[in-house]
């Protein structure tokens, strides 16, 4: 194998950054400063006018600013975004997880803890007596979802508000992970979601 001299590597590809020459008007400097101030002031006056109009119930179809008014207004999240985990359920409401331990094994931050148990139904080998995710250690890599052989864990919840005042409440247990999510951030209803297969 050829030895590469990393200290003398030559980069002869063209840069994508094109230098733009300044015109006389920009070189004078002050006219551009004044133009910037007028532009900013114009946006401020326009947005303030729209906000005041909203207070009086007017111009409802106009936005007062380009920023999202969180938390009332949530920024759209891409459907492939890896949000907070959820454990999938069988039609009878029991967990789909078979406690095979693959997700716990592959998790790079070792934040999944599973205690397997014999299933009361002899047709099913195991199920998790306990399934916990320490979300403070999770790096949201999605390996657990990829490793699961029975689609028992997903990160399609679009839940991004996972902060808490209490660290002990950041360890999600099986019951919490199996709770149906409604309202903003709820995952798609179709199972399996068609977009996942696209
Ligand atoms: S997303 Fe990654 S770090 Fe988080 S629980 Fe799954 S495997 Fe572990
Ligand atoms: S990989 Fe899937 S089935 Fe196996 S323990 Fe994890 S969630 Fe359960």
Domain locations in the chain as residue ranges: 22-67, 86-191
pTM for the full predicted model:
0.71
pLDDT digit string, tens, across residues 19-54? 788 889 889 999 999 999 999 999 999 999 999 999
Q: Which of 90, 94, 102 to mutate to test the pocket of ligand 2 (most atoms within 8 A of CB)?
A: 102
Positions at the binding site for [4Fe-4S] cluster: 97, 100, 103, 107, 138, 141, 144, 148
C-alpha–C-alpha distance, residues 134 and 167, integer Å: 10
The residue contributing the CA closest to ligand 2 atom 1 is 148
Instruction: Write the CB contacts of 195 (distance below 8 Å, at least 6 apart in sequence).
Output: 79, 80, 188
Ligand 2 atom closest to the Cα of residue 116 is: 5
Pick the CATH number of 86-191 from 3.30.56.10, 3.30.70.3270, 3.40.30.10, 2.60.40.1180: 3.30.70.3270
Cα 121 to Cα 94, 117, 181: the distances in Å are 11, 12, 28
What is the pLDDT of the chain when averaged over all its residues? Answer: 86
Q: Is the pLDDT of residue 198 over 60?
A: no
Asked if residue 131 lies in contact with residue 174, where contact means CB atoms within 8 angstroms, the answer is yes
């Amino acid at each position: 194998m050829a030895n590469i001299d990393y200290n003398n590597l030559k980069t002869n590809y063209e840069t994508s950054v094109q230098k733009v020459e300044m015109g006389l008007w920009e070189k004078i400097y002050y006219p551009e400063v004044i133009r910037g101030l007028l532009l900013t002031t114009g946006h401020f006056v326009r947005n303030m006018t729209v906000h005041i109009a909203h207070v009086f119930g007017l111009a409802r179809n106009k936005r007062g600013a380009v920023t999202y008014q969180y938390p009332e207004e949530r920024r759209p999240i891409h459907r492939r975004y890896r949000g907070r985990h959820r454990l999938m359920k069988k039609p009878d409401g029991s967990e789909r997880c078979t406690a095979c331990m693959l997700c716990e094994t592959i998790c790079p931050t070792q934040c999944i803890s599973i205690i397997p148990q014999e299933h009361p139904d002899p047709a099913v080998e195991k199920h998790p007596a306990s399934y916990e995710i320490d979300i403070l250690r999770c790096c949201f890599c999605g390996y657990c979802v990829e490793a699961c052989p029975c689609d028992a864990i997903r990160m399609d919840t679009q839940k991004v508000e996972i902060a808490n005042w209490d660290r002990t409440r950041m360890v999600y247990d099986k019951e919490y992970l199996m709770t149906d999510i409604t309202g903003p951030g709820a995952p798609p209803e179709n199972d399996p979601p068609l977009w996942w297969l696209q």
